[in-house]
Structure 1
Amino acid sequence: MSEKRILIASLLKPINDTRMYEKLGLSLSKLKDTHVYVCGFKAPLPAASPGNLSFQPFFSFKRLSMGRVKAQLRFYRLLEEIKPDVLIACTHELLLPCYAYRRKHKVKLIYDVQENYALNLLKQNNYPPLLKQALALGVRSIEKWISPKIHHFLLAERSYADELLFLENRYTVLENKYKPSVSYTSPATPVMIKEKPLRLLYSGTIGEEYGIFEAIALAEKLFQVNNTTTFTIIGYCANKGTLHEIKQRIKEKGYIRLVGGDKLVPHEQIIEEINGSNVGLLPYQPNDSTFRCIPTKLYEYMAHALPILVQQNPLWHSIVKHHQAGISVDFNNIDEQDLTTTLRQTLFYTSSTPENIFWRTEEDKLLQVFHQMNQ
């Protein structure tokens, strides 16, 4: 039997991206007689990857530049070179070159829907009103136009099944559950903070919609209650204006530190910070683009038994309550004295680390999709 070639690609995600490489890539590398290629933005190559998995650190350009357009042409030439049997597009921006390639070659096209891109453009404040409407319309038009040619959709959120009407019944939900490293060990539970200094953590994408300024405000309040409080912000911020405002806000506040900001941070470094913290913050502000999504960091925090402060939301509240993982609060209306007392008196993770938050359940579903494709 000849070796099958699977190409997983994203325009902006780094080649060591958690979902693209650690989850999809490593899971698919377990298929017999298969070689997996991961194509993405230039980043350090992961160590000790399997022999049947190769990297194409193909993209390197400024986010707002013509390089972003030229990259799609370069990507098409890469497709002609590798000649994949299965092509997984992890962003809407690669759908057009994938479609062009599919018209000329026998290949099964899979769209890994990591976000509801059109809804994000409409509801988040990254562009002027008219521009974001035009961009959202363009993205949705491309998705609808190409959807009949897509063999299968992978959905990072259950809510997308209701929001994206072009999916029909050709989809599988693969949530962004936690993929533990080889060195991972189950944390000790139950967890109680008691009189320990509060070590607050905000990790992942840094943005206004994700509540970064509310998180900073909370850290400032808790520091006034107890000056042993520290706060770490770790992740990447794509908005230069937001990043500048953050730096101004935390300047001369030694108890707050920023890791990353203008550059991507390796996932292992984020996990190290999770293990060194005792309160994880999820201060997402109410927004239609995130209200029905489960943040990846929620799974990460629970996998490491990190107590969580989560913005009030019925979906998130049900998860943290069921697993005794944290407390739902309104980040815009917090009594810091009461919160400090509650954090120190609450026993978290009384039933150990939840079993249903790990990627292995999603890996089984992913491999089943490919087994069915080969039948």
Structure 2
Amino acid sequence: MSRTSPLASARSVLVLTVVHHPEDARIRHREIAALLDAGWHVTYAAPFSGYDLEVPGPVRTGQGDLRHRDVRRATGRRRLAALLHAHRILRTLGPRHDVMVIHDPELLLAAALLPGEQVVWDVHEDTAAAIQAKEWVPGPLRRAVAAAVHGAEQLAERRFPLLLAEYQYQDRFRRRHVVVPNAVSVPAAPAPPGTGRVVYLGTVTMERGAAEMVEVADALHTRTRGQVTLEVVGPAHGRAADLLADAARRGHLRWHGFVPSSRALAMLDGALAGLSLLQDLPNYRHSMPTKILEYMAHGVPVVTTPLPLAQTAVRGAGIVVPFADPDAAVEAILRLREDPDLAARLGAAGHGVASESYDWAQLSEGFVGTLAALATSPPKNR
């Protein structure tokens, strides 16, 4: 089959997710944006209606263009319908594109049934380790499910090219794969840290520190007489949503829910501190929390738990506190408030590190080049 797309003479890609929010920063605002800037024709299939969003119309950006398709959303144990719908999209739209990029491990099965198209799996997380934090997987089955996921990853490696979001993910696979790290957009001159707002950016779950954040918000409200407020920017799931809603009703924090990336990032500017209170779980131990990089890029001092990559990244750019210790997080925040010079030094240092090592503007060209090479190479033998 010819690898030339009938859409245009330029490269074309079908990007598919049934799990991630359509405004996912890695998918929509880094990878797709970079492809559009490079003149690619992109079809983006994502669960718009599953997240109560309208399906956008066509978008023209520079030499590239973006078309959108709605796909069923996979949630909890309700995944079969989404996978069947995804397979139909891959089967019908895939041959019209030079390459397809899938972003969920669930889609490996749907892609494996294709006859011979070029499919690339973008590996966002340590899927097997993440099973431990999936409430929808019964506890007694989690070890067996994790083992099955690991086996599926080994099979996927033989069938598809992989892109990895972390260098540490290499250890899960037998061969070396291209790493497309979770870099961020770095403003040239962010505002200095303020004194009245602490921010959290990202999805909120119990494993990501929801209970600790509420305790931090309560303590800050009491000890500063309401002069320091925690702002939570992102959706919440399960019990975490109830905790945040209760705290917001008490007036102890502001919960904005999901906010599109461009607006959400602007809300970081001038914050006193950025929180990352992830628990000590396998999936987090060798992953870089992107929220930390976002805080640093915007000159915001980081308060984080001592996960290995987080602890290394914020050295000189934030304060590390113990796991499950909201009191320590509160003391760190108050220390920054009482010492504006310290907050300014940490914020400036974080911005410098982000500019030097985590700026997507410096990495996006490599991602586009990698995908172009895969688009012109023959699919792996099936």
Band of TM-score, shorter chain = 0.7 to 0.9
Alignment of 1:1-375 (within 5 A): 2-31=9-38, 34-42=40-48, 43-44=53-54, 45=56, 49-50=60-61, 52-61=64-73, 63-64=75-76, 66=78, 68-82=79-93, 83=95, 84-101=97-114, 104-105=115-116, 107-122=117-132, 127-150=137-160, 152-162=161-171, 164-166=172-174, 168-169=175-176, 171-179=177-185, 185-188=188-191, 191=192, 193=194, 196-197=195-196, 199-227=197-225, 228-239=227-238, 241-248=239-246, 250=247, 252-260=249-257, 264-275=258-269, 277-321=271-315, 324-330=316-322, 332=325, 334=327, 336=330, 340-345=334-339, 346=342, 347-351=345-349, 353-354=352-353, 355=355, 356-373=357-374, 374=376
Equivalent residue of 2:284, what SS? coil
CA distance in 2, matches of 1:71, 1:338: 44
Give the aligned length: 351
Q: 1:145 to 1:72 in 2, by over 3 A?
A: same
Matched-pair contact (CA < 8 Å) for 1:206–1:237: yes
CA distance in 1, matches of 2:193, 2:300: 10
Matched-pair contact (CA < 8 Å) for 1:90–1:114: yes
CA distance in 2, matches of 1:62, 1:91: 10
Give the root-mean-square deviation of aligned CA atoms: 2.7
Q: 1:192 to 1:242 in 2, by over 3 A?
A: closer
| Offset from partner CA, 1:285-306 (integer Å, 9 cap, x none) | 1112102211111111111111
The gaps in structure 2 that reach 5 residues or longer are 378-382
Matched-pair contact (CA < 8 Å) for 1:38–1:53: no
| More displaced 10-residue stretch of structure 1: 266-275 or 228-237 | 266-275
TM-score normalised to structure 2 length: 0.82
Matched-pair contact (CA < 8 Å) for 1:186–1:353: no
| Shift of residue 178, structure 1, vs aligned partner | 0.7
| Shift of residue 7, structure 1, vs aligned partner | 1.0
Matched-pair contact (CA < 8 Å) for 2:210–2:243: no
Matched-pair contact (CA < 8 Å) for 2:208–2:277: yes
TM-score normalised to structure 1 length: 0.84
Q: 1:337 to 1:243 in 2, by over 3 A?
A: closer
| Offset from partner CA, 1:154-175 (integer Å, 9 cap, x none) | 111111111x124x12x11111
Equivalent residue of 1:29, what SS? helix
CA distance in 2, matches of 1:337, 1:364: 42
CA distance in 1, matches of 2:16, 2:33: 14
Q: Which amino acid aligns with 2:254?
A: R
| Shift of residue 362, structure 1, vs aligned partner | 2.5
| Offset from partner CA, 1:226-279 (integer Å, 9 cap, x none) | 11111112212232x33224333x15421312222xxx4322232132125321
Q: Which amino acid aligns with 1:73?
A: L
Q: 1:57 to 1:17 in 2, by over 3 A?
A: farther
CA distance in 2, matches of 1:337, 1:62: 40
Q: Which amino acid aligns with 2:42?
A: V
CA distance in 2, matches of 1:156, 1:203: 19
CA distance in 2, matches of 1:281, 1:46: 36
| More displaced 10-residue stretch of structure 1: 118-127 or 16-25 | 118-127
Equivalent residue of 1:214, what SS? helix
Structure 1 or 2: more helix by fraction: 2
Matched-pair contact (CA < 8 Å) for 1:22–1:179: no
Q: Which amino acid aligns with 2:162?
A: F
CA distance in 2, matches of 1:39, 1:338: 43
CA distance in 1, matches of 2:245, 2:347: 34
| Shift of residue 350, structure 1, vs aligned partner | 4.0
CA distance in 1, matches of 2:332, 2:19: 42
CA distance in 2, matches of 1:186, 1:299: 15
State the percentage of identical aligned residues. 21
Equivalent residue of 1:275, what SS? coil
